[in-house]
Amino acid sequence: MAHPSQLGFQDAASPLMEELLHFHDHALMIVLLISVFVLYIIVTMITAKLTDKLILDSQEIEIIWTVLPAIVLIMIALPSLRILYLMDEINDPHLTIKAMGHQWYWSYEYTDYDDLGFDSYMIPTQDLAPGQFRLLEADHRMVIPMESPIRVLISAEDVLHSWAVPSLGVKVDAVPGRLNQTTFIVNRPGVFYGQCSEICGANHSFMPIVIEAVPLAHFENWTSLMMEDA
Amino acid sequence: MRNEAHAEPPAPVHGRTEASHTEARVRDTHSLSEEQHSFTVRYKSHLELEPRTATKEVKMAEDIKTKLENYRTAPFDARFPNQNQTRNCWSNYLDYHRCQKALEAKGEDTLPCQWYKRVYTSLCPISWVQKWDDQRAEGTFPGKI
C-alpha cells in the first residue's frame, strides 16, 4: 500500500511490476542526466563573458547532437518494447476470477469449480479496527494462491469502473458488456491494496480493491469456508 | 482386420523383376542380419496377432473424459488472444447449447458438451449467464442455437 508523502512506486509484488520499476529507474536516470546537462549549458551560456558572434554553423557538432539523442531514444525504446511484449505473452492460468464493478463496490466470482461469489464493500472509517487503513480496507478480500498465474476477467454491471492494484502493476477498465482480461503472478504472500480508477459517481473514492495472496493450502481452506458460509 | 497380405510375398506382376518389388511388404527373412530378423519377426507378429480393440470413437470419449477430469480453468484459446474476452465467453455459451441440441437430436451421449459448459462457466459472469438463460426460456435469446 502507499505510505504518507510517498514519492516512488509501491514495492513490487509481481514480476511484471518489478520490470516496470527497473525500467522507470532507467528512464528517469536518463531524463535526470539530460536535464542536469541542459541546465549546466544554460548556466554556462548566461554567465560567459566572451561570445563569438561569427559562428554560423558547424557540421561536426550538428551531427553529434542529432546522433546522440537518437541513440538515447533507442536505449529507452528497447527495454520499453521488451516489457510491452512480456505483458502480452501467452500464459496458462491456474485460476480464473471475475471482478465485477458496481456502484459502489466490487464483486468477485470464482466459478472454475463451484459457484463462489461475494461482494466486497469498503469498511467505513468509523468501523475500522486499530491498525487498519482508512478508505482502503474491505469486508471481504479477494484471496488468491501465491506464485500461480491468475487470470482476472474484469467487467462492470452499471457504469465504467477500473480495477487497479499498483503493487501488481495492474490497471484494467471495467466496461459494461465487455470482458477485459489480465493475468499476473504474485511473488510473495501479503495484502495488496488498490482503488477504483475510473470516475463512477458519488462513492468512486470509496470502493477499494484488496487482494490477499496466501499459500495454496490456505487458499483451499478459504474456498471451503466461503462455500460453507454461502 | 488382419494384415494377411504381409504373410507371404505377392506373386510378381508380369514384366516386373524380383529386385523391383516395393519395400512396403515384409522382406524375405533369410537374407537379413540377426537384428533385422528379430525386428521383422516382432513386427510381423504384432500385425498378425494383436486384435484391434478400441475404436476411434471410444478413444475420443476417453480423451474428453480425461480432459474434463483434469480441468483446471479455461485454457488459452488462440482464437481470442487479446485483452477482450467477451467473444470467448459468448462463443462457448453458444457452442454448449448447440452441442446439446445436436447430440440430443441424434440421441448420443452429451458428455463432450460438458467441456464448453466448464469453459463458459469459468469465463462468463454469473449475471450474464442468468440473463441469457432467462432469454432462452422466454424465446428472446439473440444468438443462433
Q: What is the pLDDT of residues B5-55, one digit of tens each?
A: 444 444 444 444 444 444 444 444 455 566 555 554 554 444 454 455 567
Global pTM reads 0.81
| pLDDT at position B29 | 47
The residue whose grid cell reads 479455461 is B74
> Cβ separation of A90 and B86 shorter than 8 Å?
no
What is d(CA A136, CA A121) in angstroms, rounded to the nearest whole number? Answer: 10
Closest-CA residue of chain B to A111:
B122
Is there a single domain that holds both residue A157 and residue A107? yes
Flag whether A5 is in a domain: no
User: From edge to edge, which strands make up the β-sheet containing A180-185?
Assistant: A116-120, A105-110, A95-102, A149-156, A180-185
Handedness of CA A215, A217, A221, A226 (dihedral sign): positive
The least confident of A161-170, B55-64, B113-122 is B55-64
Is there a single domain that holds both residue A64 and residue A120? no
Is there a single domain that holds both residue A131 and residue A210? yes
Total residue length of chain B? 145
Is there a single domain that holds both residue A34 and residue A81? yes
CA distance, residue B107 to nearest chain A CA (Å): 28
Is there a single domain that holds both residue A140 and residue A193? yes
Flag whether A8 is in a domain: no
Flag whether A81 is in a domain: yes
Flag whether A167 is in a domain: yes
Per-residue exposure over A134-144, b if at least 16 CB sit within 10 Å of its own CB, e if not:
eebbbebbbbb
Q: Give the A-side interface with B, CB within 8 Å.
A: 90-96, 98, 100, 109, 111-112, 115, 117, 151, 153, 155, 157, 172, 177-182
Per-residue pLDDT for A156 more than 80?
A: yes
Is there a single domain that holds both residue A107 and residue A139? yes
Q: What is the pLDDT of residues A99-125, one digit of tens each?
A: 999 999 999 999 998 899 999 999 999
Confidence of residue A54 (pLDDT cuts 50, 70, 90): confident
| pLDDT at position B17 | 45
> Cβ separation of B83 and A180 shorter than 8 Å?
yes
Flag whether A2 is in a domain: no
Flag whether A54 is in a domain: no
List, in sequence order, every beta strand (DSSP E) within chain A: 95-102, 105-110, 116-120, 142-145, 149-156, 161-165, 170-174, 180-185, 190-195, 208-214
| pLDDT at position A33 | 98
Report chain A residues whose CB lies below 8 A from the CB of B74: 96, 151
Map residue A143 onto helix, strand or coil.
strand
- If one counts the domains in chain A, the total is 2
Is there a single domain that holds both residue A110 and residue A191? yes
Report chain A residues whose CB lies below 8 A from the CB of B76: 90-92
Q: What is the CATH number of the domain that holds A218?
A: 2.60.40.420
Flag whether A147 is in a domain: yes
Flag whether A41 is in a domain: yes
| pLDDT at position B58 | 79
Is there a single domain that holds both residue A25 and residue A138? no
Domain that holds residue A129: 95-229
Q: What is the CATH number of the domain that holds A25?
A: 1.10.287.90
- CA-CA-CA-CA dihedral for B39, B41, B47, B51, to nearest 10: -110
Map residue A109 onto helix, strand or coil.
strand
Is there a single domain that holds both residue A182 and residue A104? yes
Is there a single domain that holds both residue A131 and residue A190? yes
Q: What is the ipTM of this complex?
A: 0.90
Q: Which of A92, A100, A115 sits opposite B76 (nearest CB)?
A: A92
Q: Are strands A190-195 and A208-214 parallel, antiparallel or unpaired?
A: antiparallel
What is d(CA B58, CA B65) in angstroms, rounded to the nearest whole number? Answer: 11
C-alpha distances out from residue A160 to A155, A169, B40, Å: 9, 20, 71
Is there a single domain that holds both residue A118 and residue A223? yes
Is there a single domain that holds both residue A99 and residue A83? no
